[in-house]
Amino acid sequence: MAKTPQAKHVTRKQQNRVEREHRQRTMVTAATIAIAVLIVLILGYGVLDQLVLQKNKPVATVDGTKISLSDFQARVRYDRYQLIQNTLTLQQYAQMFSFDQNSANYFTQQIQQNLSMLNTEEVMGDQVVEELINDVVIAKQAEKMGITVSEEEIDIALQEAFGYFAKGTPTPEPTSLPFATATLSPKQLTLVPPTATPTTGPTATIGPTATPDAATATPTEDPNATPTEEPTPQPTATPYTLEGYQKSYGDYATALEADALFNEEQFREIFRARLIYDKVLAEVTKDVAASTDYVWARHILVASEEEAAVIEGKLAAGQDWSALAAEFSTDESNKNNGGDLGWFNKTAMVTEFSDAAFALTEIGEISKPVNTSFGWHIIQLLGRETRPATSDELDQIKQEKFTEWLTSVKAEMKIETFDNWLGKVPTIPATP
């Protein structure tokens, strides 16, 4: 009969060792789990930081209103899309006008400027930050002015941007108003003698009209004559309907989201900002006079201040202006007609020249020598008058006033910018 095995006796020492090993395994397991959890948390935070937290950090603040990195990146993508579309259009124009070297050079220059902007991330980034700051500043001022923009106004603006006018295409407004220049005064006549009036040649005498006789008065109809072919009427252009607009808009919105990750809601906000801008500009410039000052002046241009001083002395001694201009002026375009520049407004010439010309008040008054990038000028005032501003001039005057206003408003606000956008400027859509 087999013997029953006896149970082994576990000593106290062995039991302590087992318990110690169990505790060590538990601690190692807990530490491993803790490390794994920590790694997951770190990785999760990294993903969260990149996808959410970083994008929510401001690139700028305007009186406490944050402009997030996400907003910045979206606007960069939109601006890139617009620049690329503009570049593609310019490339088509450059090909169409390749026969004209001046036109081709102009379009090529514009294309290079666009490509430079697209390929220089920091320049693009700085511009977009400034755009977004201006949007917020103008929106805050609009709120103070009680200016709002409705969804219906955005709808209409979008339609018009795509060439659809529900109430009919508006009649173009004239860009300028007729204006008669005042008759020369006696003082002006002494400075600039009038040119000879061309004599109108004799009008040709119209001979007597032949009277048809009875035999030729009524043509005899030839029954075999081939009938004259009537011109084929040209097809009428298909009207641009609401459905046509909706398709064009839908195609554009689809392409914009696919290429620039810029959705329709964001696109509508671009138009909201534009409409707010237009309304604030109209309010700020509502008192701008629809007229602009003009001067009529002539000049003598020389290379150095010393030469200008010599001319100044000769004029003071009573020497003839036109003779001096013909002899000394380096402006080949007008030296032989006394340096006459005609009538011009303040934005037509370089700043230093305009400031000096418009500072003259008396007809015939001569300026001190004026230095510009072209050389040294001596300017004589021949006339002053106020004219109705052309559409372009009025727009420029309003824009200048608005820019001054915006600069002053921004100076009174707390605006902070941050550089966290550096290295995070989107490069999509890709440069063509």
| pLDDT tens-digit map of 197-211 | 333 333 333 333 333
Q: Above 80 in pLDDT, residue 158?
A: yes
Residue whose entry in the numeric block shows the structure tokens 């995070």? 424
d(CA 225, CA 247): 52
Residue 236, domain member (yes or no): no
Q: Is residue 8 part of a domain?
A: no
Q: Do 135 and 76 lie in a common domain?
A: yes
Are 157 and 252 in a shared domain? yes
Which pLDDT does position 390 carry in this prediction?
87
Domain containing 310 equals 292-388
Whether the predicted pLDDT of 305 surpasses 90: yes
Q: How many domains does the chain have?
A: 3
Q: Return the pLDDT at 198.
A: 35
* pLDDT for res 278: 98
Residue with more model confidence, 3 or 220: 3
Output the 3-class SS for the chain: CCCCCCCCCCCHHHHHHHHHHHHHHHHHHHHHHHHHHHHHHHHHHHHHHHHHHHHHCEEEEECCEEEEHHHHHHHHHHHHHHHHHHHHHHHHHHHHCCCCHHHHHHHHHHHHHHHHHHHCHHHHHHHHHHHHHHHHHHHHHHHHHCCCCCHHHHHHHHHHHCCCCCCCCCCCCCCCCCCCCCCCCHHHHHHCCCCCCCCCCCCCCCCCCCCCCHHHHCCCCCCCCCCCCCCCCCCCCCCCCHHHHHHHHHHHHHHHHHHHCCCHHHHHHHHHHHHHHHHHHHHHCCCCCCEEEEEEEEEEEECCHHHHHHHHHHHHCCCCHHHHHHHHCCCCCCHHHCCEEEEEECCCCCHHHHHHHHHCCCCCCECCCEEECCEEEEEEEEEEEEEECCHHHHHHHHHHHHHHHHHHHHHCCCEEECCCCCCCCCCCCCCC
Q: Tens digit of pLDDT for each residue in 77-126?
A: 999 999 999 999 999 999 999 899 989 899 999 999 999 999 999 999 99
Residue 72 pLDDT more than 90?
yes
In a domain, 271, yes or no: yes
* Position 5 confidence tier, pLDDT thresholds 50, 70, 90: low
Residue 110 lies in a domain: yes
For residues 156 and 246, membership in a common domain is answered with yes
| 186-199 pLDDT, tens digit each | 666 667 765 533 33
Choose between 145 and 190: higher pLDDT. Answer: 145
Domain match, 145 and 258 both: yes
- What are the pLDDT digits (tens) for 395-424? 989 999 999 999 999 999 999 999 999 999
In a domain, 307, yes or no: yes
Any idea what the CATH number is for the domain that residue 96 is in? 1.10.4030
| pLDDT for 190 | 66
Do 93 and 127 lie in one domain? The reply is yes
Same domain, 145 and 254: yes
In a domain, 255, yes or no: yes
CATH number at residue 323: 3.10.50.40
Judgement on whether residues 156 and 280 belong to the same structural domain of the protein: yes
Residue 298 bridge partners (DSSP): 340, 380
pLDDT value of position 176 = 52
Is the same domain home to 297 and 358? yes
Give the pLDDT confidence of 227-255 residue by residue, as tens digits: 444 444 444 445 679 999 999 999 999 99
Question: Model confidence at 4, in pLDDT bands (50, 70, 90)?
Answer: low
Q: Are 280 and 265 part of one and the same domain?
A: yes
* pLDDT tens string 249-296: 999 999 999 999 999 999 999 999 999 999 999 999 999 988 889 999
- Whether residues 301 and 330 share a domain: the answer is yes
Proportion of the chain above pLDDT 70, given as a percent: 77
Least confident of 48-57, 245-254, 255-264, 323-332: 48-57
Band (48; pLDDT cuts 50, 70, 90): low
Beta bridge partners of 386: 293
Do strands 65-68 and 291-302 pair parallel, antiparallel, or not at all (unpaired)?
Answer: unpaired
- pLDDT value, residue 96: 92
Average pLDDT value for residue range 315-339: 95
404 occurs within a structural domain: yes
Which pLDDT score, from 0 to 100, does residue 55 have? 76
> Do the domain assignments include residue 428?
no
Q: Domain boundary at 34, 56, 78, which?
A: 56
- Do 77 and 138 reside in the same domain of the chain? yes
Confidence at residue 74, expressed as pLDDT on a 0 to 100 scale: 97
CA-to-CA distance for 51 and 34, rounded, in angstroms?
Answer: 25
Same domain for 114 and 133, yes or no, is yes
Mean pLDDT, the chain, rounded, equals 84
